[in-house]
Amino acid sequence: MRLYRHFNGILQEHLGGSIAIGNFDGVHLGHQEVINAAGKIAKKQGNPWGVLTFEPHPRSYFNKDTAAFRLTPFHLKARYINELGVDFLVVLQFNHDLAKMSPEDFITAILVRGFQAKHIVSGSDFVFGNQRRGTVGFLKEKGAKLNFESVGVTQVMDGSGEVISSTRVRDCLVTAEPAEAAELLGRGFEIEGRVVKGDQRGRKIGFPTANIVVSSMMQPAIGGYAVRAGLSEGNNTIWYDGIANLGYRPTFGGTTCLLETHIFDFNEDIYGKHLRVALVGFIRPEVKFDGINELQAQITSDTGLAKLILSGKPPEFR
């Protein structure tokens, strides 16, 4: 997948394509439907398949003091889009100029002159341009005059008939329901980052952890989780079972939110390496213990529950 950060300078081989447009935070099943719809058109027409998205998320631009809400920081979003098989990804900086751009100028400058797009695919509720005046209907109207087609993909429903949305995924994570979030995403919700050195208390009590600082994305429910931890090996990711605590470590007076992951049957030095952690099942809220022995006993108990969850044998309390 080729990555572009501006609409000027698109290579000839990527002009005249079928392009999916959206913020795509989470790249959930609804987003995948939009992106794949563009792919089906591209393959049928023999044209390049692209995705256009925006960074930062417009919500962050207009509400700079808002709490972290992103399901997928850019590097994660780009990975998931790449895994769908697209030919190229264009990431436009959402800044003052783009926020003030009229829908007409967005279409003529970016979609027509920049991409020479043949097909534009978006969710049926997609809006764009200054004051969100651009709609799918507006795209279709302009496309008829400017020689491109616009397709609005109907919102995707889950098995219960509810619309799949980024908001619903966030709600599931806040209420400690990672399995339900995974059903909407089509994969486990991941937190990833470089492994940083901690206080190494876990190692002293027989549960060494790989620690990631959680700051640039939304914070799921604080507490213990059954997880799968992924480490890169060449072009592949090797997955391991484990248990993790997401929180502030109140037993030791912690103030920074960390994801501390204990990988089962693993004893390698991975400081500084990139770690992916998928939340599989919630075990318990974070609590303050009276001492190391109480903490150690709880982790031992949590480990047993995590292994049951990861084996597909749900514990009695679930």
Helical H runs in the chain?
29-45, 58-62, 74-83, 96-100, 103-105, 136-146, 166-174, 178-185, 201-204, 292-310
Q: What is the DSSP letter of 129?
A: S
Residue 114: which residues within 8 A CB-CB, separation 6 or more?
A: 7, 8, 10
Residue 55 falls in the annotated catalytic set: no
Give the Cα-Cα-Cα angle 183, 185, 191 (nearest 5 degrees).
115
188 and 76 in contact (C-beta within 8 Å)?
no
- Residue 166 gets the label, from left (phi > 0), alpha (psi -120 to 50) or beta, of alpha
Q: Give the C-alpha separation, 168 to 164, whole Å.
A: 7
Q: Give the C-alpha separation, 75 to 77, whole Å.
A: 6
The residue from 183, 260, 294, 316 that is catalytic is 260
4 and 88 in contact (C-beta within 8 Å)?
yes
Residue 283, token pair as written in the block: 């075990």
Q: Give the C-alpha separation, 69 to 62, whole Å.
A: 14
Q: Give the C-alpha separation, 115 to 205, whole Å.
A: 57
Strand-by-strand arrangement of the 2-4 sheet: 2-4, 88-93, 49-55, 18-21, 119-123, 149-153
* Active-site residue set: 260
